[in-house]
Amino acid sequence: MTKHTPSRQTAGARAWSFLSSPRGWLALLLLFHLCANIWWLWADNHAIRTDEETHMIMARDYYNALFPRVGDRGLTARLLALGRIRADVGNPVHPPLLHIAGAVLVRIIGYSVDRLAFINTLAFLAALVGVFLIARRFLDEGEAFFAALVFSFTPMVYAASRYFMTDFLSMALVVWVLYALLRCNWFADLRWSLAFGALNGLALLTRTTAVLYYLLPSVVIFGAALAHGHGRCRRMQSGIGHHRRFQAAAISFDAYYITV
């Protein structure tokens, strides 16, 4: 009979303990949706049209600008090529984050329309983790997992995760903006204030309307931070200052695409 060493038994016990916990269930849920979306992208042959077609064309333009196959491949030539990409194709303005992220992804895993769309599967998985963490702030782990489970099987959510659209990446970033807002401790925590500013900037670079989804809680927490007391005033002002710098940089970058 084969004898198992104590270290193997310990590793097996730890693995089983993890998989039988809500965090293990979350890991299995993420694995399920990852595999389901990869299969769906492989099996589906829907016609790419309207907004999705526009986004894929723009991602292709960014791919050609960032990773040219012919001609000058220097940094200056790539920056000039990026500057020539029009943002007002289809709808009035398309911020560039989804298109750049898709271009970088297919540079790594190979170019195809299915692989472009896979970027939103990654955003879907990130959103599930974000929902779990937000719920965990108020509920125990089992209930937080149930919240993530229900969210993941909401038809509009899991279906939209298979299309190359700005809405889905924006949603995932909004989830993480809200989590950072919950963790910033009235903007007294510098790290989470920085994270809030950075995520807010990324959300704006995905959709210019993203801020509308967390404007009200941001205003409420910002107002509460101002009334929180003078003892933390300096740390709060430092966090808010960093957040404003990130937001100003993102708005400036967005403004360039609006005016091009």
How many residues comprise the chain?
260
Q: Write out pLDDT tens, residues 23-45.
A: 999 999 999 999 999 999 999 88
Closest CA to 257 of 91, 103, 52, 65: 91
Domain ranges of the chain: 24-38+47-259
pTM for the whole structure = 0.81
For 40-86, how does the pLDDT look when each residue is reduced to its tens digit (9 = 90+)? 999 988 888 888 988 999 999 999 999 988 877 788 888 888 888 87
φ/ψ bin of 68: left (φ > 0), alpha (ψ from -120 to 50), beta (otherwise): beta
What does the pLDDT read at residue 91? 61
User: Treating both helix axes as pointing N-terminal to C-terminal, what angle do 22-43 and 141-152 enclose, rounded to 10 degrees?
Assistant: 10
Contact 128, 152 (CB under 8 A): yes
Q: Within 13 Å, how many C-alpha atoms sit on residue 41's CB side?
A: 23
Kindly report, residue by residue over 42-52, the tens digit of the pLDDT: 998 888 888 89
* Residue of 120, 149, 121 whose CA lies nearest to 29: 149
Q: What's the Cα-to-Cα distance from 72 to each of 68, 148, 245, rounded to whole Å?
A: 8, 47, 35
Mean pLDDT, the chain, integer: 83
Cα(13)–Cα(4) distance, integer angstroms: 12
d(CA 146, CA 126): 16
- In angstroms, the CA 196 to CA 178 distance is 8
SS3 state of residue 1: coil
Give percent helix, percent strand, percent coil of the chain, each to the nearest 5: 75, 0, 25
- Distance of alpha carbon 234 from the chain centroid: 31
